[in-house]
């Protein structure tokens, strides 16, 4: 093995090149500090994404499976989810999970930041929707967000591009919502409905979850990163961080990582920013032990890894007599409903859920295989008729519940499982709460009503989708009280004054919508606060 | 593969995906599964050989109903291997340009042609808006 190169010290070391790491790198470029990002994965090659190949659907079951335990690439780390009814899903590359995300791009609602004050549960955030509002807008511009202004479920906002087409699925299910007199609205999406900023518009290539060959979907390897790199940020790939190190004063002074050749290296830094997501960040903090922090870095509160929140998901599929071209279109949500988003305790639960109508992923292979596993499309005689009735004749809806923080839902280090560099793997222990279960039950019943109102002749329901750990939140929460939170209101660790967290770990509560717009707005907000406080960044 | 083995494989393909009753959809045996195996599923070949060894010599000569019965027995004896077989037969079948044309989707790859989808009618959103502000602060 050759000797590890000597690294020059940097001002800012960012760990993880996903949604949040890219946003903060871009935000800090104007400081002219020396910024380096270490990312365990590689750059992607869009010209080799599956939609450029004939067997594009099969890739979802192999190298583009969204479950790292199934994918098992060298860039991945395993996650022990034996104690969880929900699997952790992610992607590890420059772009992080935005490589495979569906780019449905809602913001958290104003009430999501005040759940204790409004509903007497969990905790309020130390910041408000209004604090994030300018950064939501800034992020929408950099990512390129399509949507329709005027949704009465939000304060005014104005997406830079017009909405994506509803498609037949959206039109038909919207008819169901209309019949019931329930809210619906075209979804905001980080997918271009028109050419924008040198990128071309969406071609409706179907499965966005195996990368966007067209570059219309805003994964951060094609939005934030090129701009940040042009402005001087350095990004090193195939560098997997094992731990953050401390100096004798208890300040972070860098990170130990393994490079592409497996050599152990050290990177010295003045400021360290964690952006490895709600599972990857607590994993590395917990693995960074010292005499000062025997239970993991910045973990005096004992909360690193605790309060893990997903968005538990129930799934409803309506089968229609008419052809809906279900497999066409960008995969994510085309329309959504916030009818049951805000708390109404007469429903038997607090907080609420989002109903998202999805399309684009039920291509012929996926339809046939799903039918094989559920028994609805048999192999042998009868296959073609059953396939004909279902393929392109279904509309699906996701009921996405707001999960509340519970300390026993957590990420710890697995005592045995390790990644290819020998770093302990994360272990997830998670139980679905009664409140979340009641939300899902309510959503399933309402979802069936919508499908029937829209004309479905048959409705299939899945009460909890195992493959739904897309959103990884809450494991290094923000707050003003060091006893009840890991970082302060601008992402700085209470215990280590030059260590920041900018990813979904920060979330105090989860809201009932996809989080990436809010994660990135938070990263930009934290970047802004850092820039404003540069002279006294480490002061009490 | 010798002649007897390839006859058995064709019979198995025709059992899993026979032609449709109206003759519109072809049987999986009519497509070039061997080329698919070579170019896209080389790893699967040993599993396939193992599955094929469970089908006796006379399998290819049996009527469809008897072949289905035998395939069910093999499936319940080793569902993992059988599910892999089904996966590859479907993968080969549903990427075939002829099949894709018949089910109303254009030949893969979908990039760079893409799909046209309708913009949809947004007029009923006026009624949604008329219900007024729905968020809390
Ligand atoms: C299939 C799927 C669909 C999704 N759809 C949506 C959607 O429609 N809308 C939405 O809002 N959200 C969606 N999400 C979630 C979204 O992708 C995440 O919220 C977002 O990417 C999180 O950003 P992040 O920066 O916290 O982490 P990530 O984007 O996951 O980035 C973390 C990065 O850190 C790197 N890393 C981790 N550990 C180390 C280490 N030790 N050393 C070096 N690098 C490391 C990883 O390789 C990765 O690149 C989806 C996710 C998935 C998996």
Looking at chain B from residue 2 to 21, which residues have their Cβ under 8 Å from any Cβ of chain A? 15-18, 20-21
Q: Establish whether residue A57 lines the binding site of ligand 1, counting it when its CB lies within 6 angstroms of any ligand atom.
A: no
| Mean of all residue pLDDT scores within chain A | 97
To probe the interface with B, which of A49, A150, A152 has the most B CB atoms within 10 Å?
A152
Per-residue pLDDT tens digits for A205-261? 988 999 999 999 999 999 999 999 999 999 999 999 999 999 999 999 999 999 999
For residue A278 the two structure tokens come to 């709600």
Per-residue pLDDT tens digits for A360-416? 889 999 999 999 999 999 999 999 999 999 999 999 999 999 999 999 999 999 999
Pick from B112, B117, B131: which is nearest to A328 by CB?
Answer: B117
* Partner-chain contact A168 B71, CB within 8 Å: no
**Beta partners for residue A240, in sequence order:** A258
Strands A424-429 and A410-418, by their bridges, are antiparallel
Pick from B95, B116, B119: which is nearest to A54 by CB?
Answer: B95
| Helix A167-180 / helix A434-454 crossing angle, nearest 10 deg | 100
- Helices and strands in chain B: count of H runs, count of E runs: 7, 0
- Helices and strands in chain A: count of H runs, count of E runs: 11, 16
Q: Is B122 on the interface with A (CB under 8 A)?
A: yes
Count the Cβ atoms, other than its own, within 10 Å of residue A451: 28
Alpha carbon A70 to its chain centroid, in Å, reads 19
Distance CA A501, CA A491 (A): 5
pLDDT of res. A529 = 98
**Do A464 and A85 contact (CB within 8 A), yes or no?**
yes
**What torsion, rounded to 10 degrees, do the Cα atoms A485, A490, A496, A497 define?**
-150
Q: Is B63 on the interface with A (CB under 8 A)?
A: no
The conformation of residue B71, written as its DSSP 8-state character, comes to H
Per-residue pLDDT tens digits for A409-446? 999 999 999 999 999 999 999 999 999 999 999 999 99
Pick from B87, B110, B134: which is nearest to A183 by CB?
Answer: B134
For residue A11 the two structure tokens come to 């001002």
Q: Which of A41, A277, A334 to mutate to test the pocket of ligand 1 (most atoms within 8 A of CB)?
A: A277
Q: Is A383 on the interface with B (CB under 8 A)?
A: yes
Place of tokens 């009460």: A463
pLDDT of res. B58 = 92
Exposed (0-12), middle (13-18) or buried (19+): which is A6, by Cβ within 10 Å?
A: exposed
Q: Establish whether residue A92 lines the binding site of ligand 1, counting it when its CB lies within 6 angstroms of any ligand atom.
A: yes
* Cβ neighbours for B89, distance < 8 A, ≥ 6 positions apart: A379, B13, B16, B17, B28, B33
| Helix B45-52 / helix B79-94 crossing angle, nearest 10 deg | 120
pLDDT of res. A2 = 56
Q: Establish whether residue A17 lines the binding site of ligand 1, counting it when its CB lies within 6 angstroms of any ligand atom.
A: yes
Q: Establish whether residue A103 lines the binding site of ligand 1, counting it when its CB lies within 6 angstroms of any ligand atom.
A: yes
pLDDT of res. A255 = 98
Closest chain A CA to residue B126: A150
Pick from B86, B114, B120: which is nearest to A379 by CB?
Answer: B86
Distance CA B120, CA A169 (A): 10
Per-residue pLDDT tens digits for A91-112? 999 999 999 999 999 999 999 9
ipTM for the predicted complex: 0.96
Distance CA A296, CA A482 (A): 15
Distance CA A106, CA A129 (A): 13
Per-residue pLDDT tens digits for A4-41? 667 899 999 999 999 999 999 999 999 999 999 999 99
Pick from A171, A178, A206: which is nearest to B110 by CB?
Answer: A206
For residue A166 the two structure tokens come to 């509803």
Nearest alpha carbon to residue A71 among A94, A85, A47, A89: A89
Buried b (16+ CB within 10 A) or exposed e, A217-252: bbbbbbbbbeebeeeebebbbbbbbbbbbbeeeeeb
Looking at chain A from residue 97 to 116, which residues have their Cβ under 8 Å from any Cβ of chain B? 109-111, 114
* Atom number of ligand 1 nearest to Cα A77: 38
Distance CA A469, CA A426 (A): 14
**Beta partners for residue A333, in sequence order:** A358
| CA diameter of chain B | 74
Distance CA A142, CA A232 (A): 18
* Cβ neighbours for A383, distance < 8 A, ≥ 6 positions apart: A368, A377, B17, B18
**Pairs of residues, one from chain A and one from chain B, whose beta carbons lie less than 8 Å apart:** 165
**Do A142 and A22 contact (CB within 8 A), yes or no?**
no
Distance CA A302, CA A287 (A): 14
Distance CA B1, CA A537 (A): 71
**Looking at beta carbons, which residues of chain A come within 8 Å of B129?**
150, 152
Nearest alpha carbon to residue A207 among A90, A326, A88: A326
pLDDT of res. A4 = 63
CA-atom Rg of chain B in angstroms: 22
Closest chain A CA to residue B20: A384
CA-atom Rg of chain A in angstroms: 22
Q: Give A365→chain B minimum CA distance, Å.
A: 6
pLDDT of res. A3 = 62
Q: Regarding predicted confidence, which is higher, A330 or A4?
A: A330
Per-residue pLDDT tens digits for A128-153? 999 999 999 999 999 999 999 999 99
**Looking at beta carbons, which residues of chain A come within 8 Å of B32?**
none
Give whole-number Cα distances, A262 to A15, A92, A283, A342, A393, in Å.
Answer: 17, 17, 19, 49, 50
**Looking at beta carbons, which residues of chain A come within 8 Å of B17?**
379-380, 383
**Do A340 and A314 contact (CB within 8 A), yes or no?**
no
Looking at chain A from residue 126 to 165, which residues have their Cβ under 8 Å from any Cβ of chain B? 129, 148, 150, 152-155, 163, 165
Distance CA A384, CA A376 (A): 12
Distance CA A277, CA A71 (A): 18
Asked if the A10-159+208-310+402-431+469-536 domain carries CATH number 3.30.360.10, the reply is: no
Whether the pLDDT of residue A1 is over 50: the answer is no
For residue A40 the two structure tokens come to 């365990």
Distance CA A214, CA A355 (A): 28
Instruction: Sort residue A206 into left (φ over 0), alpha (ψ -120 to 50) or beta.
Output: left
Alpha helices (H) along A2-144? 19-28, 68-71, 115-119, 129-143
Nearest alpha carbon to residue B108 among A363, A102, A384: A363
Q: What confidence category does residue A195 fall into, taking pLDDT thresholds of 50, 70 and 90? A: very high
Distance CA A325, CA A314 (A): 23
Per-residue pLDDT tens digits for B64-113? 999 999 999 999 999 999 999 999 999 999 999 999 999 999 888 999 99
Strands A10-15 and A35-38, by their bridges, are parallel
| Helix B45-52 / helix B3-16 crossing angle, nearest 10 deg | 90
For residue A380 the two structure tokens come to 């042998």
Q: What are phi and psi of A396, to 5 degrees?
A: -120, 155
Give whole-number Cα distances, A480 to A125, A226, A489, in Å.
Answer: 9, 35, 6
Per-residue pLDDT tens digits for A455-501? 999 999 999 999 999 999 999 999 999 999 999 999 999 999 999 99
Q: What are phi and psi of A114, to 5 degrees?
A: -135, 45
Nearest alpha carbon to residue A274 among A8, A511, A96, A452: A96
Place of tokens 């989860």: A510
Mean pLDDT score, A280-303? 98
For residue A454, the surrounding DSSP H or E stretch is: helix A434-454
Look up the pTM and report it.
0.97
Per-residue pLDDT tens digits for A119-130? 999 999 999 999
| Helix B3-16 / helix B64-77 crossing angle, nearest 10 deg | 90
User: What angle is formed at CA A138 by the lines to CA A134 and CA A142, rounded to 5 degrees?
Assistant: 170
* Partner-chain contact A368 B40, CB within 8 Å: no
């Amino acid at each position: 093995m050759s000797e590890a190169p000597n690294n020059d010290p940097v001002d800012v070391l960012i760990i993880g090149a996903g949604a949040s790491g890219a946003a903060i790198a871009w935000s800090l470029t104007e400081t002219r500090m020396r910024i380096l990002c270490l990312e365990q994965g590689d750059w992607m090659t869009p010209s080799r994404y599956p939609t450029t190949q004939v067997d594009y659907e099969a890739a979802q079951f192999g190298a583009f499976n969204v479950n790292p335990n199934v994918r098992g690439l060298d860039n991945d780390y395993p996650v022990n989810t034996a104690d969880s009814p929900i699997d952790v899903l992610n992607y590890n590359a420059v772009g992080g999970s935005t490589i495979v995300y569906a780019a449905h791009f809602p913001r958290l609602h104003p009430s999501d930041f005040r759940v204790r004050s409004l509903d007497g549960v969990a905790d309020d955030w130390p910041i408000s929707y209004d604090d994030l509002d300018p950064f939501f807008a800034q992020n929408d511009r950099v990512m390129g967000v399509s949507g329709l202004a005027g949704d009465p479920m939000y304060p005014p906002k104005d997406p830079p591009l017009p909405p994506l087409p509803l498609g037949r699925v959206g039109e038909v299910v919207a008819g169901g919502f209309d019949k019931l007199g329930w809210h619906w609205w075209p979804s905001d999406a980080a997918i271009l409905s028109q050419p924008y900023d040198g990128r071309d518009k969406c071609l409706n290539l179907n499965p966005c979850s195996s990368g966007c060959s067209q570059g219309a979907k805003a994964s951060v390897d094609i939005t934030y990163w090129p701009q940040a790199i042009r402005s001087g940020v350095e990004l090193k790939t195939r560098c997997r961080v094992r731990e953050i190190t401390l100096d004798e004063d208890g300040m972070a002074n860098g990170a130990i990582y393994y490079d592409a050749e497996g050599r152990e290296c050290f990177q010295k830094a003045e400021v360290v920013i964690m952006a490895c997501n709600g599972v990857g960040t607590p994993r590395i903090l917990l693995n960074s032990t010292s005499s000062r922090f025997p239970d993991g870095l910045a973990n005096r509160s004992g909360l690193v890894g605790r309060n893990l929140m997903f968005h538990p998901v129930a799934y409803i599929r309506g089968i229609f007599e008419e052809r809906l071209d279900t497999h066409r279109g960008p995969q994510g949500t085309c329309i959504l409903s916030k009818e049951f988003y805000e708390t109404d305790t007469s429903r038997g639960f607090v907080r609420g859920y989002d109903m998202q109508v999805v399309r684009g992923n039920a291509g012929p292979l996926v339809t046939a295989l799903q039918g094989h596993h559920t028994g609805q499309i048999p192999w042998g005689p009868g296959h073609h008729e059953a396939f004909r009735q279902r393929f392109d004749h279904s509309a699906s809806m996701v009921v996405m519940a707001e999960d509340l923080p519970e300390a026993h839902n957590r990420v710890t280090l697995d005592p045995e499982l390790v990644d290819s560099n020998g770093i302990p793997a994360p272990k997830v222990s998670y139980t679905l709460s009664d409140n979340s279960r009641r939300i899902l039950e309510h959503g399933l019943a309402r979802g069936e009503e919508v499908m029937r109102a829209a004309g479905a002749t048959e409705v299939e329901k899945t009460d909890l989708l195992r493959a739904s750990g897309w959103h990884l939140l809450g494991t290094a929460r923000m707050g003003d009280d060091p006893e009840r939170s890991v970082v302060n209101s601008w992402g700085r660790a209470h215990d280590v004054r030059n260590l920041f967290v900018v990813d979904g770990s920060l979330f105090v509560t989860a809201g009932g919508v996809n989080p990436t717009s809010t994660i990135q707005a938070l990263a930009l907000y934290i970047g802004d606060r850092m820039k404003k406080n540069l002279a006294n960044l480490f002061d009490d | 593969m010798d002649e007897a083995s390839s006859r058995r494989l064709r019979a198995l393909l025709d059992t899993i995906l026979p032609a449709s009753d109206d003759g519109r959809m072809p049987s999986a045996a009519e497509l070039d599964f061997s080329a698919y195996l070579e170019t896209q599923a080389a790893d699967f070949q040993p599993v396939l050989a193992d599955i094929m060894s469970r089908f006796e010599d006379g399998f290819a000569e049996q009527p469809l109903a008897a072949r289905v019965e035998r395939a069910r027995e093999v499936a319940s004896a080793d569902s993992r291997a059988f599910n892999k077989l089904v996966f590859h037969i479907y993968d080969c079948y549903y990427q075939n340009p002829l099949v894709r044309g018949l089910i109303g989707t254009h030949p893969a790859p979908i990039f760079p042609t893409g799909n046209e989808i309708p913009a949809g009618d947004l007029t009923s959103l006026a009624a949604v808006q008329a219900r007024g502000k729905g968020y809390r602060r």
